[in-house]
Structure 1
């Protein structure tokens, strides 16, 4: 029986992660590293006529709240690292411990590095290791970051990551590699379309495995570490304690515009999830623009104050369930609801509306632009008049500025397409009460339309 027949990846494009559903036979399934948003998993189970009988987590996740506890509440047998200190019922596995599925076996392999208690899970058919769920140890083209336990432990855990990789590389070359983190993950996965691999392919193509020794590996791995959302610091502990169990059908409460206005006066955060063009055409003053797209959860968790309730405004054709689950999977729990009737009811009530100017890339002329992309994107190519501050750093600096402004408010903000730039502009407008224009498009469009080259480097 091949791994491809057994294992169904469930990819979360926004977070850059994969959960896995394993068909164990006899109508039973195993779920590995499932997020709290179990909709795709439940749909995959339903289509195949399966029941989730087992759930496993490779580590205490930092980038999402685990759905394992919810699966256990539904009858699944939950297994995880014995050293994770989880405070809810589960079966702790130590290195070499096995779970017999009746024909297939799950074997724990201690692989610390990405986290202290990290385990990989070998899936064994008879005496053959079909594949290995590597979580955040070996990932396609790299290995996951080791700085989530604090900068003082980054090198120590990077050395542990090196030793863990050597254990994994001892598996046969044909062994399938099923990582949790992939392209788009802030756990240091490189870009690329491949989500799964094999031990042999990683030996041949993974640059981190081509280094000559442990010291070089540590230097290479640490040099790749970029910024990550602040909720990465909170979620491991929430996953250790156990996320609160959710109703099978949670929903966003509709809030009449008159009540919404009072909530906003009381300090509730307003997030406008409509597309950039709709937000620019007219939005509620003080709203933060975070367009509902695959990356919505990451930026919602990154730029909001986790201690304050959140109210949403959306277009009628946008799915409130999607907003809800994206928020819940990154630990945004204080949900005040959504503005009933959206912008239409707000405008009809005669309440204030403001606009944001959109600019085409070719209309920038020589104006100074704030580029809010990630550092790796910026150094690859930016317009010559750009200054740089990552969106996440901007969001972090605004509350700590004594005047309420990071620096002098920029005239124009840009990113790769416009969504992050609009988020930045909305944060700046909310704080400085000055208009900021947003570029629709990014540096590539600017270069293509003007014929001017991009500048590389910092």
Structure 2
């Protein structure tokens, strides 16, 4: 028996796991890589491995795939579902197909549902089943959503997902389950922190496996779905045709203040990646606040127009390569550049704007309207009494629902609230403040319980 070495490379922001598997002979297999392959390549190099295979379970909607990057950089053979043939070189896999990896055998298992072409992969070592990579099919405590293809396919795919999970339940209880999507992914409704499981654990505890029959499963699955970023509806087509190969890190060309002003006059968007407090103290008028943190790519894709140039404003301690790769994950291949010298340079050329912050104790003392921009599920779990809920991702469409008059914008910690406030400011609102902290901070200062429910 060979030594089993499986390394998950987790993207906490997108909520996904890429898997690096040592298949022996100095070679590795990588499953469901994102476009930023720096970390998975570093993990392979640290172990003296070359990446021989880059594998996909399905056409991803939440990120640009990295299989082409690995094929170019490492000479990896791409394995992908045969259904929905890719616009680039890939070995098509269908149900029952196997690949001899030397120490291991890789077997495709058709598990449609999250997408029509979805495959899981069984990993065998001789006669022993080592585990199953389930991608966006069976996940820890849930299953992949089925509403990312088209509205008319949502229910049929949910029914397919039911049968796929039943098929996976035929595996032994001890079988390890290695999903791609997990907590933090908009492809999943999972709330816990666990990213791997076993068939037996899911059989016993997964709520979707406790319901009786296909109809009940469909109702439970569809009832668990929240909103998702609209960029999910365009990335699948890019992954299908084949994303551009970026190779070395994409760059952020330096732009002086006059060049930024000219680009803005021509329709460019400014995205400010600095911490929320820095944005509040001074920013380019009309800029979007999107703090560089694990979920940066999600909010960039959700709130920014992919058809307009993007100019970045960052802090000196923020790595421009990290910003560029995060943008590339969601299809922003080429950013217009960054403001050279940051806000200090802008302040010399033009007056910055500011957004006032408010602490919970000040908010309790007054009675402004409260706009809570968290997801509906977060809001219903506990919110300031009387607060209005408009999810940040829906704010551009639901601007007319924002309360008139002075308003305090809040979220969980302040970053999403600052993003929302920057959108409101751009729309002409001058009576907006941002709460530092969240609902728990308000409850502690107010000495009141949070309101539960919608």
* TM superposition score category, shorter chain reference: over 0.9
Q: Which runs of 5 or more structure 2 residues have no equivalent in the other structure?
A: none
Q: Does 1:49 align with 2:48?
A: yes
| Matched ranges for 1:27-46 at <5 A | 27-46=26-45
Of the three residues 393, 411, 425, the one matched with 2:407 is 411
Partner of 1:450: 446
Preserved contact between residue 249 and residue 325 of structure 2 (Cα < 8 Å): no
Partner of 1:121: 121
Partner of 1:196: 196
For 1:373 and 1:410, locate their aligned partners in 2 and report how far apart those are by CA, in whole Å: 19
Q: Does 1:232 align with 2:228?
A: no
Q: Does 1:394 align with 2:395?
A: yes
Partner of 1:112: 112
Aligned-pair Cα RMSD in Å: 1.4
Which stretch of the first structure deviates more once superposed, 32-41 or 183-192?
183-192
Report the 3-state secondary structure (helix = DSSP H, G, I; strand = E; otherwise coil) of the residue aligned with 1:335. coil
| Cα deviation digits, residues 41-82 of structure 1 (max 9, x gap) | 011011111000001000000000000011112300110100
Find runs of 4+ consecutive structure 1 residues off by over 6 angstroms: none
For 1:364 and 1:408, locate their aligned partners in 2 and report how far apart those are by CA, in whole Å: 17
For 1:70 and 1:57, locate their aligned partners in 2 and report how far apart those are by CA, in whole Å: 13
For 2:416 and 2:87, locate their aligned partners in 1 and report how far apart those are by CA, in whole Å: 37
Partner of 2:151: 151
Report the 3-state secondary structure (helix = DSSP H, G, I; strand = E; otherwise coil) of the residue aligned with 2:43. helix
For 2:191 and 2:337, locate their aligned partners in 1 and report how far apart those are by CA, in whole Å: 35
For 1:433 and 1:362, locate their aligned partners in 2 and report how far apart those are by CA, in whole Å: 24
Preserved contact between residue 314 and residue 342 of structure 1 (Cα < 8 Å): yes
Q: Does 1:436 align with 2:432?
A: yes
Report the 3-state secondary structure (helix = DSSP H, G, I; strand = E; otherwise coil) of the residue aligned with 2:305. coil
Which stretch of the first structure deviates more once superposed, 139-148 or 427-436?
427-436
Q: Does 1:12 align with 2:5?
A: no
Report the 3-state secondary structure (helix = DSSP H, G, I; strand = E; otherwise coil) of the residue aligned with 1:230. coil
For 1:80 and 1:352, locate their aligned partners in 2 and report how far apart those are by CA, in whole Å: 52
For 1:415 and 1:108, locate their aligned partners in 2 and report how far apart those are by CA, in whole Å: 42
Query: What is the number of residues matched between the two proteins?
Result: 451
- Structure 1 residues 218, 409: closer, same or farther in 2, change over 3 A? farther
Partner of 1:356: 355
Preserved contact between residue 81 and residue 93 of structure 2 (Cα < 8 Å): yes
Report the 3-state secondary structure (helix = DSSP H, G, I; strand = E; otherwise coil) of the residue aligned with 1:166. helix
For 1:108 and 1:97, locate their aligned partners in 2 and report how far apart those are by CA, in whole Å: 5
| Cα deviation digits, residues 249-307 of structure 1 (max 9, x gap) | 32111111221111111110000000011000111111100000001000000001111
Partner of 1:68: 67
For 2:431 and 2:252, locate their aligned partners in 1 and report how far apart those are by CA, in whole Å: 31
For 1:115 and 1:21, locate their aligned partners in 2 and report how far apart those are by CA, in whole Å: 23
| Matched ranges for 1:208-223 at <5 A | 208-223=208-223
Partner of 1:302: 302
Report the 3-state secondary structure (helix = DSSP H, G, I; strand = E; otherwise coil) of the residue aligned with 1:457. coil
Preserved contact between residue 271 and residue 312 of structure 2 (Cα < 8 Å): yes
TM-aligned CA deviation for residue 409 of structure 1: 6.3
Report the 3-state secondary structure (helix = DSSP H, G, I; strand = E; otherwise coil) of the residue aligned with 1:45. helix
Preserved contact between residue 409 and residue 434 of structure 1 (Cα < 8 Å): no
TM-aligned CA deviation for residue 410 of structure 1: 5.5
For 1:212 and 1:385, locate their aligned partners in 2 and report how far apart those are by CA, in whole Å: 38
TM-aligned CA deviation for residue 149 of structure 1: 1.1
Q: Does 1:22 align with 2:18?
A: no
For 1:435 and 1:259, locate their aligned partners in 2 and report how far apart those are by CA, in whole Å: 30
Report the 3-state secondary structure (helix = DSSP H, G, I; strand = E; otherwise coil) of the residue aligned with 2:120. strand
Of the three residues 403, 418, 423, the one matched with 1:422 is 418
- Structure 1 residues 409, 99: closer, same or farther in 2, change over 3 A? farther
For 1:170 and 1:203, locate their aligned partners in 2 and report how far apart those are by CA, in whole Å: 10
Q: Which runs of 5 or more structure 1 residues have no equivalent in the other structure?
A: none
Report the 3-state secondary structure (helix = DSSP H, G, I; strand = E; otherwise coil) of the residue aligned with 1:249. coil
| Cα deviation digits, residues 103-136 of structure 1 (max 9, x gap) | 2011000000000000001111101110111000
| Matched ranges for 1:304-383 at <5 A | 304-347=304-347, 349-365=348-364, 366-383=367-384
For 1:77 and 1:452, locate their aligned partners in 2 and report how far apart those are by CA, in whole Å: 59
Report the 3-state secondary structure (helix = DSSP H, G, I; strand = E; otherwise coil) of the residue aligned with 1:364. helix
| Cα deviation digits, residues 159-186 of structure 1 (max 9, x gap) | 0000000111111111110000000000
For 1:46 and 1:453, locate their aligned partners in 2 and report how far apart those are by CA, in whole Å: 52
Which stretch of the first structure deviates more once superposed, 207-216 or 369-378?
207-216
- Structure 1 residues 410, 9: closer, same or farther in 2, change over 3 A? farther
Report the 3-state secondary structure (helix = DSSP H, G, I; strand = E; otherwise coil) of the residue aligned with 2:58. coil
TM-aligned CA deviation for residue 150 of structure 1: 1.9
Report the 3-state secondary structure (helix = DSSP H, G, I; strand = E; otherwise coil) of the residue aligned with 2:336. strand
TM-aligned CA deviation for residue 362 of structure 1: 2.3
Report the 3-state secondary structure (helix = DSSP H, G, I; strand = E; otherwise coil) of the residue aligned with 2:427. helix
